[in-house]
Chain A
Amino acid sequence: MTTALTQSSARAHNKKIVQNVVIKPEDLPTKKSEDWRYLDVAALAGAYELINDKPVITRGPLGSRSGRATQMHFETGPASQTIKSPQEIKPAAGAAETIFENITRKAPIHTVRVDRSCRLTIVHQSPGAGQIVCSAIQIIIASPQAVTVDLDERWENKLSRGLFIGNTVIELGKSAVLRHKIDQRMVAANHIKSYSVRVGQAARYNLAVSAGRGQILRTTASIDLIGARASTLVAVAQSGSGSQQLDSGIVINHAAPNTKSLQEIRTLVRDEAHGIVNGGVHVKKNAVHSSVSQFAHGLMLSPRAHCYGKPSLRIHTDKVQARHGFSIRPVDEQQLFYLQSRGQVSADAKDQLVNAFISEVLPAELQ
């Protein structure tokens, strides 16, 4: 539901929301208590729905300056075009390049409709120190023909340190394929992102996330396989050092027959970093002959680091193939020894193993 507000009332409302948001590392779940005691991300990320057409970049308790815009960039055909700040956009027929320069004050929720195969890049502006930037994007991919879309999300101003809150809703129509890559590797800002994806009949959603360097990074995804033969592949790699707090919560709902899902989550923690993985799969009664794979592995490089994994499989039908595995371990001594026996000093060998651990699940361009 959206409510039209005046600019001043929107700001006041927004300020009220963010003033109540105080994220402290100690608020993160611990082994003793796995309740999510901090920030309700969905509520916060949904704040701009209330604000509707008003600023999604807000002043908050972290500082006083406004942030900047999100850009979108399309490549679809031989020509090119630029569209500024529409609320709803659609790559033009025959356009090789469509650049969408968004002024977030005018378009708090961007709706992207895609009906042909194309490449879409979303470049977010990272919030500066003390800023909170919210982003809301709805992507609808639907066409009578099968379409394949590559969606890359990345961030500019990588060194800035604020809070980015993103909420992305994706709808995949019949036989659509979306290859979604989120590259945050060098991004220093805190991130709280949620993705809600509905995958239609015979459609496929592939998500690859390479987490960044912010103090707090949270990625949640809820993927509903609502059409028969819908499938999803989720690969998340999160690497934390210092006192970073990382967590991923992936929930996949199988709600139709012959659906297929694979989760591969890698968490690497150094120093005093915390890594948390919540993997959930729910196979509903009608999702017969579905296939489920859920894997999460943690690598601990320091005795003071923490890594938690919480797998969850709820299966309400008998005709399902399900596999799952969670593990948390230090560096494999035999692998380390093997690399050392080939002349690599311990530190280099360890780096190589750490990179291999992360790289294994990610596509080459995110490694």
Chain B
Amino acid sequence: MSQQPVRARTAGASKTSLSIKNLHVTREGKEILKGVSLEVQAGEIHVLLGPNGSGKSTLAHVLAGDPRYSVGDRGLDFNGKTLCGVPPERRAERGLFVGFQHPVEIPGLSTAQFLRSAQGALRKSRGQNPLTAREFLQNAKAALVAVGLPEAVLERPLNVGFSGGEKKRLELAQLILLEPTLAVLDEIDSGLDVDGLKLVAAALKRFMLPDKLTPASGQATSNRMLLLITHNPRLLRYLPITRVHIIQNGQIIQSAGPELAEQIAKTGFVNKKIQK
């Protein structure tokens, strides 16, 4: 049984899940995802591994609602409701967060301004009062400290002049601030040194802390889900992984427990064959 503290008691919270069924995605007429299926339940950490160009980042962008990709009208459900045709901001309101592999730079928009607007918009959608400037700053600084970024980042234009590692850390700080229920993190470990990896792993563990008590069993469970997209299994050593999926050429070719990640670390993706 988990010894970790319970974050908050959310009585009667509905069971959360992400369900991807036979998802086909095209961009500019080219099919990129060719029937991907994946199920993530509350409290689970799933990992999507795959070589370059296998469709991992496409899946992240599709989940976030990137309009450049064409998705059918079914095959993508979150908490029992379809995500197909739902604009990106509505997905965020429902509790979906995607940490991008290459977060965009926005010159002229300070990081503090961006974080405050994002947090304000989501709090408003949840019916929560906006935070005061002081409360926001406290939260933002705490989030930055948790991911190892200096406070001065708040004054800098969003992602402009950031190193690869700093961009990833800022994505993670957003995850902490915006409090989603499902986090999809695309190569959050790239550009990070060993200390950075440990810091990210600690932040992700905190994200997955149990946040409710199941009345029947009295056990603490988490309402949150994590889908890690990577082609590097290093980060996985620090996290309690539920399931590992291998994607190749737009299809999930194998799903298994955490041992699959170790196997991939040794053998690589080259000799993987489709195992339906």
Contacts and interface: CB of A to CB of B under 8 A. Distances in A.
A337 B88 contact: yes
Given A343-B125, A360-B157, A337 B106 contact: no
Interface stretch (B20-28, B46-54, B96-104): B96-104
Contact of B109 (A334, A340, A343, A353): A353
Interface string B60-71: 000011111000
B87 A352 contact: no
Chain B CB within 10 Å, residue with most, of A344, A346, A358: A344
A359 B108 CA distance: 5
Given A342-B174, A343-B93, A346-B89, A334 B104 contact: yes
A360 B178 CA distance: 26
B64 to A, nearest CB: 5
Chain B CB within 10 Å, residue with most, of A333, A339, A342, A348: A342
Contacts of A342: 92, 114, 118, 121-122, 174, 178
B157 A341 contact: no
Contacts, number: 78
A341 B98 contact: yes
A195 interface: no
By size class, the interface of chain A is 20 to 34
B121 A343 contact: yes
A335 B92 contact: no
A356 interface: yes
Interface string B63-92: 011111000000000000000000111011
Contacts of B65: 337, 340-341
Interface in A323-352: 332-335, 337-346, 348-349, 352
Given A334-B104, A335-B104, A352-B109, A341 B117 contact: no
A348 B109 contact: no
Interface of A: 332-335, 337-346, 348-349, 352-353, 355-361
24 contacts: A333-B68, A334-B104, A335-B104, A337-B64, A337-B67, A337-B88, A338-B100, A338-B104, A340-B65, A340-B88, A340-B89, A341-B98, A342-B114, A342-B121, A343-B178, A344-B89, A345-B89, A346-B89, A352-B114, A352-B117, A355-B108, A356-B109, A356-B157, A360-B157
Interface of B: 64-68, 87-89, 91-93, 98, 100, 103-104, 106-109, 113-114, 117-118, 121-122, 125, 157, 174, 178
Given A333-B68, A353-B106, 16 more contacts: A337-B88, A338-B100, A338-B103, A339-B117, A339-B118, A341-B98, A342-B121, A342-B174, A343-B92, A343-B125, A346-B87, A348-B121, A352-B117, A359-B108, A359-B109, A360-B107
